[in-house]
């Protein structure tokens, strides 16, 4: 038999007045205010979600820009000894050879094979690093005859026990653009790369300054741990004269190298408007870049007649700048019909942490408003009855718990659905705008 209690026996008259005329209006008022806030805040949800995805997409873009490959060794030769030290004014006088062609005269005067002499200068010094690589992909690019170069390289490698195998060599009579590095960054299947560029001729004078270089790249963690030299070559920007100013600002905003850490700049045959804009940006006191005027180097002034393939030489010279503790380097080169900009540093880039969650003010307040209103309804039901028993109170409690969980679940599901639909709308709008930009160029 259930024991019944009257409301008067459980609650005093004062408690009833306090609950019905003070507590209930406050709880009901708070729930109404929460609903009103949620209603007006709902219109801001679109902007909130849009900004959230926009920020994360920017961070994704920044992370993509900051992808890099490591330069772990490099050697080069030109017709000027210690050319980087002279250009950077660490040694002697800076060479000024505009409109001249500078040959590598010493290979013409050498009694032994000119190729063996070049390999002595650019390959033999990296023997120890080459031989710790389990496998290396070799890109051999030269204006010379393929069979002659291949035979000489293999003979030299066998004689000096270099880790170079014929099956790993890809030969080309054209020196590739420097933005080839972007392909290597994206190609995770290739971890160790040796680039060999040979631009010379012992019989006739070329139309451009001669140079030869070998650059060894790696993203193999085991190899990097054994290498004292690790220079980060970040993803390069390929732009054009029309979009140069805008793209340069975006490029610097990617923070591959912190603006204040850019200490030297190298250019190669930039068109006059691009050169002017490049200088204006780097020397602007409001840009955050603290580049000194004497650390801006135009290679065509120093090394005479060059072409776009000399960008690899510019990369080697910039690497010398890092070895000489000149911090971050930026290179801008003419690349046939486009302009290529690259940054390199001995430091890895810092990417801010992505935000995975949007602030949950809106669903939280909506949940609390619903639960307060449910609590008010339950209290009203309980105190509107003259008599209640413990079984009925338990039923009300269970009902309230189930109803509360249902409300919370419904709001969470609704919020997730809303975010998902807004994300789809955002991505669709983003690509529509991208198409508009692409079609307008």
pLDDT in tens, 202-218: 888 899 999 999 999 99
Q: What is the mean pLDDT of residues 218-246?
A: 92
pLDDT (mean) for 344-367: 68
Beta strand 296-298 with 192-199: parallel, antiparallel or unpaired? unpaired
Predicted pLDDT at 292: 92
Q: Place 370 in a pLDDT band, splitting at 50, 70 and 90.
A: confident
Instruction: Say what the pLDDT of residue 219 is.
Output: 92
> Which residue, 72, 74, 75, is CA-closest to 228?
72
Q: Which single residue is written with the structure tokens 């459980």?
A: 10
The two structure tokens encoding residue 421: 């639909």
Is 178 within 8 Å of 237 (Cβ atoms)?
Answer: no
Amino acid 274: pLDDT: 95
pLDDT in tens, 152-205: 999 999 999 999 999 999 999 999 999 999 999 999 888 899 999 999 998 888
Cβ–Cβ < 8 Å for 122, 195:
no
Q: Read off the pLDDT of residues 117-142 as tens digits, 9 standing for 90 and up.
A: 999 999 999 999 999 998 999 999 99
pLDDT band per the 50, 70, 90 thresholds, residue 14: low
236 and 341 Cβ atoms separated by less than 8 Å: yes
Phi and psi, residue 205, nearest 5°: -85, 130
> pLDDT tens digit string along 393-402?
666 666 666 7
Burial of 432 (0-12, 13-18, 19+ CB in 10 A): exposed
Share of the chain above pLDDT 90, in %: 51
Residue 391 CB partners (closer than 8 Å, separation 6+): 2
| Residues 6+ positions from 130 with CB-CB distance below 8 Å | 123, 136, 162, 163, 164, 194, 216
Report whether 403 contacts 374 (CB < 8 A): yes
SS3 state of residue 405: helix
User: What are the backbone angles phi and psi of residue 372, rounded to the nearest 5°?
Assistant: -65, -45
Among the listed residues 315, 253, 320, the one whose alpha carbon sits nearest the alpha carbon of residue 66: 253
> Would you state the pLDDT for residue 212?
97
User: What is residue 20's DSSP assignment?
Assistant: I
Q: Please name the residues in contact with 120: beta carbons below 8 A apart, sequence gap of 6 or more.
A: none
Q: Is the pLDDT of residue 110 over 90?
A: no
pLDDT of residue 16: 56
| The pLDDT of residue 439 | 45
Of residues 27 and 305, which shows the higher confidence score? 305
């Amino acid at each position: 038999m259930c024991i019944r209690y009257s409301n008067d026996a459980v609650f005093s008259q004062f408690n009833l007045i306090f609950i019905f005329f003070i507590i209930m209006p406050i709880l009901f008022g708070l729930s109404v205010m929460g609903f009103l806030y949620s209603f007006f805040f709902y219109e801001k949800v679109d902007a909130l979600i849009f900004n959230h995805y926009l920020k994360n997409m920017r961070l994704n873009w920044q992370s993509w820009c900051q992808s890099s490959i490591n330069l772990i060794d490099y050697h080069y030769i030109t017709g000027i000894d210690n050319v980087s030290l002279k250009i950077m004014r660490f040694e002697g006088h800076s060479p000024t050879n505009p409109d001249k062609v500078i040959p590598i005269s010493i290979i013409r005067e050498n009694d032994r094979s000119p190729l063996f002499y070049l390999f002595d200068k650019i390959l033999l010094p990296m023997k120890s690093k080459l031989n710790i690589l389990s496998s290396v992909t070799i890109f051999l690019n030269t204006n010379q005859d393929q069979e002659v170069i291949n035979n000489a390289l293999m003979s030299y490698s066998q004689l000096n026990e270099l880790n170079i195998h014929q099956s790993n060599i890809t030969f080309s009579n054209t020196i590739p653009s420097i933005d080839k590095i972007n392909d290597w960054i994206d190609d995770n299947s290739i971890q160790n790369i040796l680039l060999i560029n040979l631009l010379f001729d012992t019989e006739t004078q070329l139309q451009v300054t001669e140079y030869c270089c070998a650059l060894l790249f790696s993203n193999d963690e085991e190899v990097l741990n054994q290498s004292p030299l690790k220079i980060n070559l970040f993803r390069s920007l390929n732009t054009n004269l029309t979009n140069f100013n805008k793209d340069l600002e975006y490029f610097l905003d990617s923070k591959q190298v912190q603006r204040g850490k850019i200490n030297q700049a190298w250019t190669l045959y930039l068109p006059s408007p691009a050169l002017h804009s490049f200088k204006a940006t780097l020397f602007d006191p409001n840009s955050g870049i603290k580049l000194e005027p004497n650390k801006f180097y135009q290679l065509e002034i120093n090394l005479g007649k060059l072409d776009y393939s000399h960008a690899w030489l510019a990369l080697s010279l910039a690497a010398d700048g890092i070895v000489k503790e000149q911090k971050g380097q930026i290179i801008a080169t003419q690349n046939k019909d486009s302009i290529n900009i690259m940054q390199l540093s001995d430091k890895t880039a810092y990417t801010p942490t992505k935000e995975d969650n949007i602030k949950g003010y809106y669903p939280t307040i909506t949940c609390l408003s619903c639960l307060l209103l449910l609590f008010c309804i339950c209290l009203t039901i309980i105190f509107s009855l003259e008599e209640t028993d413990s079984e009925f109170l338990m039923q009300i409690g269970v009902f309230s718990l189930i109803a509360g969980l249902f409300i919370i679940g419904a709001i969470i599901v609704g919020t997730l659905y809303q975010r998902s639909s807004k994300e789809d709308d955002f991505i669709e709008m983003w690509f529509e705008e991208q198409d508009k930009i692409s079609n307008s160029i």
